Structure formats: C-alpha cells, structure tokens
Structure 1
Amino acid sequence: MTASPVVALRKAIRARLLMDGALVAALGGARIYEEAPRGAETPYVLFTDAEMRDWSTTLSRGSEHFLTLAVISTERGLGPALDVAQQIVDLLDSAALTLDDHELIDLRFASMNTKRDASGRFARVAMLFRATTEYL
C-alpha cells in the first residue's frame, strides 16, 4: 500500500526540523506535534491544516499540497514565536526532502500570519507552505 502523500510530506518535514539542533534548542526539545499533548509546554510546532489537490499529468500521478505549520507560544509578545517561525521557513523553503513512496518536486514558503486566541494566552504564528509531489 502506498503511503498518503500528505503523511509522507509531514513525516519528511518533521524529520528535517528535528535534525536542526538550533531549532530543537529554541523549542526546548523535540516539540513538533500532529496534536499537542494536554498541558504541552510552549513553544511548540503544530501541523495544522493540509489541503491536497490532484497535480497529475499524462505521464505521472502527482499532488499539489498546501500545508500549515504553526508555532504556539505563551510568551508575552510575538518576537520569540516569530523567530522560531523564521527558523522553520529557512529550513524548509526549497528544501530537498526524501519522502516515502513519493518524490518531492518543490517545497516553497507561501505566507505567514499571527494571531492570539480569545483569552490572549496563546500566540500563534502560522506558516503556509506549497509543495508538489509525484508518486513513485
């Protein structure tokens, strides 16, 4: 059975981020989650929204992805979360990643936005990336 291209892309991104000692240090550990554990210490990185579209040609099956990673922080001000987000952008924009059952054609940073939750306790810096993949 072929791995989902979304799962393969997320797995490769997570592995790439965890290989960077400076990012892991800034997070205070390997805090990169699909779903944050209850009571997780901040800052952490969270895989959030993902959208996949058909990107096939007559010669190969492919997918276009829009995926969002978010830095979650409880620090006052957005500066520290923005610094971590920039580290992630620097690590992933145009990165050559190896995916299970798929080939990464392109991975690009698209946009970033910030917001606080209604209570004002959590700051969120969301980064949108666009990727294209082909099935092997």
Structure 2
Amino acid sequence: MTTAAAALRSAVRSALVADGALVALLGGARVYDEPPRHVAHPYVTLGEARTTAHAPGDDGGEEHQLTLHAWSNQGGHREAHLIAGALLQALDDAPLTLAGHRLVNLRFALADVRRESDGRTYHALVRFRAVTEPA
C-alpha cells in the first residue's frame, strides 16, 4: 500500500465516524478496518483498495479505488440501502485532508446491495474512485 492509499483510508474512516447520519444508522461509530470478533450489526468495513499511477510520466499522482462494505441483518434490504446512501452522502466529493498528500477528487463509482447466502444478512458494496497528488 502506498502512503497516499494509507492516508486516504485514514481520512475516509475519520470522515465516516464523524458523520452524524451514518453513525445514527449504525447505532454508533461502527466503522472498522477489521471488525471485532462478535460485532453487532449493522456496521461498515473498509475493504479492498486498488492504486494505480494516475497518468504515465505523472509527478506521483495516484488513482485509487476504495471499496466499503456495509453489513445488515435487520431482515430486508432497506437498512443496507440506507447505509449505502449515507456512505455516498458522507464521501462523494468530500474535501478530505490527507496526511502528506492532496486529494484531487473523491467520487462515487458503484453500489451493489445483495442478500448473503445465510438468507438474512444484507451486504452493500460501495466503491469510490479518488485521485491524489503529493503535497
């Protein structure tokens, strides 16, 4: 992971735990890199990240794809959709401050809500695209 990617993940997590609407939906600041062993639903995890050079011959700019996962077992898709919407509201075009880097943009790219194989848990996958530059 690059230092820009680590700074982006940190800034994203900080923004999410500070977002009142999301925290209310989750019943607390339940946003994890790795969830605790017996975590209560609903919660959000910071998932997969992909980083590439923003442009060939560039001055160190990077493009990031960051996936967030929301987990709900309320019994139906509604809560997962609401959490996905709150993630979008909290992060799309957010002016995050990154340690040692500058965030050029942060944009919503994709959302997918599905029922897991247990038949009760709903999983929302929300992906964002970001571009960073060295500070």
TM-score bucket (shorter structure): over 0.9
Tell me what 1:126 maps to: 125
Please name the residue that 1:81 is paired with. 80
Partner of 1:47: 46
Taking structure 1 as the reference length, the TM-score comes to: 0.92
**Distance in 1 between the 2:32 and 2:120 partners?**
19
Paired AA for residue 45 in structure 1 = V
Cross-structure match for 2:110: 111
Contact 2:30 2:43 in 1 (8 A): yes
Query: What are the within-5 Å matches in structure 2 for residues 12-23 of structure 1?
Result: 12-23=11-22
Deviation (angstroms), 1:116: 2.2
Confirm or deny that 1:8 pairs with 2:2. no
CA distance in 2, matches of 1:47, 1:20: 15
**Which has the larger displacement, 54-63 or 89-98?**
54-63
Q: Go from structure 1 to structure 2 and tell me whether the alpha carbon gap of 1:116 and 1:59 turns closer, same or farther (over 3 Å shift).
A: closer
**Cα displacement (A) at 1:22:** 2.1
* 1:47-96 alpha-carbon deviations (Å, 9 max, x no partner): 11110001156562111001100110111111011111101101111111
Distance (Å, rounded) in 1 between the aligned partners of 2:58 and 2:20 = 40
Structure 2 gap segments, 5+ residues each? none
Name which of structure 1's ranges 88-97 and 118-127 shifts more when overlaid on structure 2: 118-127
Structure 1, unmatched stretches of 5+, are none
| Percent identity for Structure 1 against Structure 2 | 41
- Provide the C-alpha distance between the structure 2 equivalents of 1:59 and 1:50, rounded to a whole number of angstroms: 21
CA RMSD, Structure 1 to Structure 2 (Å)? 1.4
Matched to 2:54, the amino acid is W
**Equivalents in 2 of 1:100, 1:54: separation in Å?**
19
Report the Cα distance in structure 2 between the residues aligned to 1:117 and 1:59, rounded to whole angstroms. Answer: 41
Counterpart Cα distance in 2 of 1:59 and 1:78? 42
Counterpart contact for 2:50–2:65, Cα < 8 Å: yes
- Rounded to whole Å, the distance in 1 between the matches of 2:132 and 2:42 is 30
Output the TM-score relative to the length of structure 2: 0.92
